[in-house]
Structure 1
């Protein structure tokens, strides 16, 4: 069997596509590929309209079955192909788009689904939404991305909390840490409106203020006050350069004198020897101090984490992710708890505006002693494993999820969650693996509907419930390690049944081997 696969974002383009529409489909395809390779020959295509039917014709010629899995929503799936086509997509709402706009029928998902004849989704909610629109007998199956297996090595370390600190190397990123950052540049004041206007015009912003403060701080550290005595070097400080050797200085000046006074009388070989001696005895030139790196520029960074770490990974421009509630509830819950840390691991190539908004939000809160770390940038495999090790709880406060890969990944590593039980998360979140956050339904629009017409529902988070979940989770970690261990083991077992390769392979095999007129060559 030949299985053709496609995602708009590829391994070559993912670095510049982070946060862009449909970027997460690449990660879903990457997780499915090892399972698909068990079932047949997998071929990745770059241009479905040009490549898919050529592969299909070759398969038919060889007497092979062939299917095209397009990891994309129905309105972005290539239609009208001879090859059986199956869209593989995530959806977080209780209804799929059943209207079109721009005179383009594909925006009504019933159009594409009818032409494809079947679909693969990642939650029971989406199965129900598709069947509500397409009929109760429409072939659609829920198969979450199989992420569980790749964390076997981390799980082998045991389910007890490990002791920090954990050191994470970031090859290219930015780190803002409230334990060594003043929020004063983002404080509201009489010139707040003027600063906002200047920022919109691309003029001096809070970023420039931070750069200036950063440079001033470095200068202040390297230049003691004029009337202050020189501080004693700490034991760990680098040693001072050794005093010049008197004999070395004498030899250097003697060689220089001979070169200048007797140069014309000396044979060329002696002149060259004196030149070489003079160069060897010359004191080394002072190494200029490196220019300070702006905290906003992507650069190698080091991050150390300790205490009780709550981690959230998300695209900061995705309004569903609801970072404001996560941040404000945390800073309120742990106002006087310095060992509680909230780590925001962001995923978007244009991060400056988002980080600026987060810092402005924190600056407007009452003073807090807990720690908030904002991390943007690439973290390699070892760094990601350290980040998971450091994490006590994974946090989600979104309005809706199609499956939520980061939440599934951390749970697969035995990290209990703080999360609501709605949309796709209702398939695997409950009190046995998480501190459940309450929510209620609210009207909203489909995210790609340019009319912003209210046609579906999302979930609003109960902020007070989120705050209490933070406190309960922290108390459990500190005071009830036995319960924490049970939550951890439950999380691993739950995700094995939900998103392991074995579970995905069984569902995929049954779904793709259905013999009908659309799944075999004529």
Structure 2
């Protein structure tokens, strides 16, 4: 059989696409590739036009073919010359089942019914699809087959909880709290020295009472805009798609047409200048840092509100305020340092002082450098509100690194108390990330901050005082990934599913043209 694999992001664009909503699909495709190559011939078109042409060419040649589209259904073609299945990572309890912006493809049921089936990356996603499409809809949960790749890198002996001094390198920049001189006082505008005066009696000064300005429509508009901006930043900014977020930010920052044309005259009082614009560090050089002790690692994009990274950092610093051998390494998957630099330093400054260490790695890690980071890890940490799969967590587990993580959404398939300190979480309302209406239609999770803090403390004690328990968790992590994400299981289950799916065929009456949604 011929397999056509397609993702919006390819080898030539992955570096510039880090941090975008669908960039992780590229890594899922790469993990699928070797298994599918063993099952048949693989084709990888680089555009939707080339995808359509490849499908027509194979069908015209009488070849049995199947297209796997790695991405959300609303971006997939409705039909091709050969059958098509979306490979879907989805982290919410319901799939989009409504139409907005006059786009029928915004309702995933419209697309999936024309495909006739789907592949999900988790049981959670498969349940959400069946809940909308019906229990008989052909969908198979098929996680990324990565065990063989990372098992060979991680070795077979139990991992060490205490990391010996290890140098990590990255092409980019490193923020190290041991070198930053953090202080909450640095967040406050400087107080200018008040000149000393002679010790003389102070005559009482008659207070000046100014009249309260009239509540005109102009003032009402300015006040409303101010509170609207606060609501947007605190309540919904992380839920808005990146492209729309930039436009809304510019709109909300734009001066109101009702604002005074002339700024008010400066008073005779001393004017304190604003702090200068933050100077970003150079990100073009190869830099290194040495870590040791009990090392916690997390890989995420700070612009992704689902990652809940602020709680991950605050719980760590709160747990280890007086523990110098605890280090948290944050590997950032976001190209734009300016998008989170001030936020990150502000948060760390608010937490200072603390004896523990936080290291932020911004930039590109090649395969060797990334493996060096895995080897220098005691625990992988995830505090997400929801996950479609979480490839980094699976990769670290395959290398024998226990975790601190919740067991909700996709992680329920492979996270439990044998290999992780499980963080309880409660449900909360959410929006589908691509829904421009920002309507509450679905559910995500809120991990317990106190339990996360306690998990840090418990894991540190295990690492220091109970190495046999740590090694048992390490071996359990490897075994779970062997069973859950092995190539043999993947090939067997995919073959059985495709035999059923292609045997019944995709209904021709569902074909609605070759246009992409």
Could you state the TM-score of these two structures normalised by the residue count of structure 1?
A: 0.78
Assess if the C-alpha contact under 8 Å between 1:341 and 1:372 holds in 2: yes
Q: Residues 207 and 411 from structure 1, CA distance in 2 versus in 1: closer, same or farther, beyond 3 angstroms?
A: farther
Q: Tell me the equivalent position of 1:2.
A: 2
Partner of residue 421 from structure 1, selected from 393, 399, 407: 407
CA distance in structure 2 between the partners assigned to 1:412 and 1:315 by the alignment: 22
CA distance in structure 2 between the partners assigned to 1:503 and 1:206 by the alignment: 58
For the pair 1:469 / 2:486, whether they are aligned, the reply is no
Q: Residues 336-362 of structure 1: CA distance to partner in whole angstroms, max 9, x if unpaired?
A: 001100111000111223122111011
Partner of residue 334 from structure 1, selected from 320, 327, 350: 320
Report the Cα offset of residue 53 of structure 1. Answer: 4.3
Q: Tell me the equivalent position of 1:444.
A: 430
Q: Tell me the equivalent position of 2:378.
A: 392
**Aligned-CA RMSD value:** 2.5
Q: Residues 4 and 191 from structure 1, CA distance in 2 versus in 1: closer, same or farther, beyond 3 angstroms?
A: farther
Report the Cα offset of residue 153 of structure 1. Answer: 2.9
Assess if the C-alpha contact under 8 Å between 2:312 and 2:383 holds in 1: yes
Report the Cα offset of residue 145 of structure 1. Answer: 1.0
Report the Cα offset of residue 400 of structure 1. Answer: 0.2
Assess if the C-alpha contact under 8 Å between 1:66 and 1:521 holds in 2: no
Residues 449-464 of structure 1: pairs in structure 2 closer than 5 A: 449-464=435-450
CA distance in structure 2 between the partners assigned to 1:205 and 1:136 by the alignment: 60
CA distance in structure 1 between the partners assigned to 2:355 and 2:115 by the alignment: 55
Q: Tell me the equivalent position of 1:516.
A: 503
Q: Residues 186 and 311 from structure 1, CA distance in 2 versus in 1: closer, same or farther, beyond 3 angstroms?
A: farther
Partner of residue 281 from structure 2, selected from 272, 295, 310: 295
Partner of residue 473 from structure 2, selected from 487, 490, 495: 487
CA distance in structure 2 between the partners assigned to 1:362 and 1:394 by the alignment: 20
CA distance in structure 2 between the partners assigned to 1:440 and 1:164 by the alignment: 37
Of 419-428 and 157-166, deviating more is 157-166
Residues 233-382 of structure 1: pairs in structure 2 closer than 5 A: 295-382=281-368
Report the Cα offset of residue 370 of structure 1. Answer: 0.2
Report the Cα offset of residue 461 of structure 1. Answer: 1.1
Of 395-404 and 16-25, deviating more is 16-25
Partner of residue 410 from structure 1, selected from 363, 372, 396: 396
For the pair 1:144 / 2:143, whether they are aligned, the reply is yes
CA distance in structure 2 between the partners assigned to 1:25 and 1:153 by the alignment: 23
Paired residue secondary structure (2:437):
coil
For the pair 1:76 / 2:62, whether they are aligned, the reply is no
Report the Cα offset of residue 47 of structure 1. Answer: 2.3
CA distance in structure 1 between the partners assigned to 2:507 and 2:432 by the alignment: 35
Assess if the C-alpha contact under 8 Å between 2:5 and 2:69 holds in 1: yes
CA distance in structure 1 between the partners assigned to 2:184 and 2:455 by the alignment: 31
Q: Residues 426-466 of structure 1: CA distance to partner in whole angstroms, max 9, x if unpaired?
A: 01111001000110000111111111111000000110000
Q: Tell me the equivalent position of 2:165.
A: 165
Paired residue secondary structure (1:110):
helix
Report the Cα offset of residue 188 of structure 1. Answer: 2.5
Matched residues, number: 431
Q: Tell me the equivalent position of 2:233.
A: none
Report the Cα offset of residue 79 of structure 1. Answer: 1.2
Q: Residues 357 and 498 from structure 1, CA distance in 2 versus in 1: closer, same or farther, beyond 3 angstroms?
A: same
Assess if the C-alpha contact under 8 Å between 2:299 and 2:333 holds in 1: yes
Paired residue secondary structure (1:307):
strand
Assess if the C-alpha contact under 8 Å between 2:151 and 2:478 holds in 1: no
Q: Tell me the equivalent position of 2:65.
A: 66
Assess if the C-alpha contact under 8 Å between 1:186 and 1:359 holds in 2: no
For the pair 1:401 / 2:396, whether they are aligned, the reply is no
Paired residue secondary structure (2:351):
coil
Paired residue secondary structure (2:378):
strand
Paired residue secondary structure (2:164):
coil
CA distance in structure 2 between the partners assigned to 1:206 and 1:446 by the alignment: 38
Q: Any unmatched runs of 5+ in structure 1?
A: 212-293
Of 3-12 and 497-506, deviating more is 497-506
Paired residue secondary structure (1:335):
coil
Moved over 4 A (4+): 204-209, 519-522
Q: Residues 138-197 of structure 1: CA distance to partner in whole angstroms, max 9, x if unpaired?
A: 000001111211123333262130641111222x211000011112488331479xxxx9
Assess if the C-alpha contact under 8 Å between 1:311 and 1:393 holds in 2: yes
Report the Cα offset of residue 366 of structure 1. Answer: 4.5
Assess if the C-alpha contact under 8 Å between 2:176 and 2:357 holds in 1: yes
Q: Residues 205 and 14 from structure 1, CA distance in 2 versus in 1: closer, same or farther, beyond 3 angstroms?
A: farther
Assess if the C-alpha contact under 8 Å between 2:159 and 2:400 holds in 1: no
Could you state the TM-score of these two structures normalised by the residue count of structure 2?
A: 0.79
CA distance in structure 2 between the partners assigned to 1:186 and 1:349 by the alignment: 29
